[in-house]
Amino acid sequence: MTAVVSPADAAAYTRLRTEAGTLDRSDRLRMTISGPKAAETIAGLVTSDVSAMQGGHGQYAVALTPKGKIIADLRIFRRAPDDLLVDVPWAAAAGFSAMISKYVNPRLATCADVTGALACLGVVGPHARQVVAHALACSPSAFDLLPAYAHTEVPFGDGTVMVARSVDYGIDGFDCFVRAADASRLHAALVASGAPGADPVALEVLRIEAGRPVWGTDMNGETLPQEANLDTLNAISYTKGCYTGQETVARVHFRGHVNRCLRGLRAESLPAGEARVFAGDADVGDVRSRAVSPRLGAIALAMLRREVEGGATVTVRSAGGDVPATVVDLPFPLLPSPSSPEPRGWSARTSWNGCSATDGSCVRWCVIVRARRGSSRRA
């Protein structure tokens, strides 16, 4: 019998969709790049317009080979005019580090691996803003106006936490960059503020639903950035100056198109191993990330030929046989959430999103949005 992808826990998934969960994102490369030429140096190596970025803001970007193939996708945070923090998925860390070592002149910019010294804790879900504010004893309004990847410093103990808005899972989220020595204390504060540990399988479902590719599975060293839809994810500037791989990226954008790109698939079930996609007798691509969503059933990201249209019926073929599937444009449209009955003895209370306080007084309230009947819980 062919192995199939196991479903995510519905309760864990619903919790992330309706409340919040905490995850440790420290398994990523974190590197500082500093010096008067730091921004200019990195701008020549990535697809985003780093030189135009203001302090307190961030960008999603891609590092490419001279032929325009992906080395790594990364997040860049400008902490000060001459100080950048770069955050890279661990699967792409070796390639990115090799690129930095090869192309960055240490006389122009100083690069330091701070992965061991700086931890990253994420909070995902519609209550993420309130959870982070409660854990850091500040007003949620401190994060209200932060666009994607923008960040702010908040005191924590005898140090600070850099809180950055994250969009990696298609729902509201914040990443907290904190000294490694303070990470366990911050993690405990986030959990106590209403964000228990997030289920990794549920997080993977969210990522796939959002259509966000991960390096090493959905894209690799043979992928062009437009094939992985990184242009639609705002990782590419078509107005900035020169950078490595720009010729290929610009040619695709201004003069042509890619012949394949990531699309979504929905099916009754999906095999866990290698699988190809066929439209009639034609091999049109392969299946990459896959999961079972409590909302949508079996879903996947697949690299498909561009002529395969959304809504088309295709065949997923593996060693275990054929499965029909429907092609879906990304991100996946969301159907109504599965029912989530109230736990016995608990009742819904007004969430923090409904708080009208402007003086930060609402942070005195515990962020938990389901309280036992007859009790009024304060932090």
What pLDDT score does 250 carry? 95
**Residue 219: DSSP 8-state:** B
- Average pLDDT estimate for 106-115: 96
**With 0-12 CB in 10 A as exposed, 13-18 as middle and 19+ as buried, what is 141?**
middle
What pLDDT score does 4 carry? 55
Nearest Cα residue to 218 out of 121, 299, 145, 102: 299
- Average pLDDT estimate for 299-316: 97
Using the predicted structure, report yes or no on whether residue 378 has a pLDDT greater than 60.
no
Instruction: Please provide the average confidence, as pLDDT, over all residues in the chain.
Output: 89
**List of domains in the chain:** 11-205 (3.30.1360.120)
Tens-place pLDDT, residues 155-197:
999 999 999 999 999 999 999 999 999 999 999 999 999 999 9
- Average pLDDT estimate for 194-207: 97
What pLDDT score does 336 carry? 58
Omega before residue 331 within 30° of 0, cis: yes
Scanning the structure block, which residue is given the tokens 């007004």? 350
What pLDDT score does 3 carry? 56
Tens-place pLDDT, residues 343-363:
333 233 333 333 333 333 333
Using the predicted structure, report yes or no on whether residue 6 has a pLDDT greater than 80.
no
pTM assigned to the model: 0.88
- Average pLDDT estimate for 37-42: 96
Q: Which amino acid is at 265?
A: L
- Find the farthest-apart pair of alpha carbons in the chain and give their distance in angstroms, rounded: 66
Give the angle 126-175-106 at the CA atoms, nearest 5°: 155
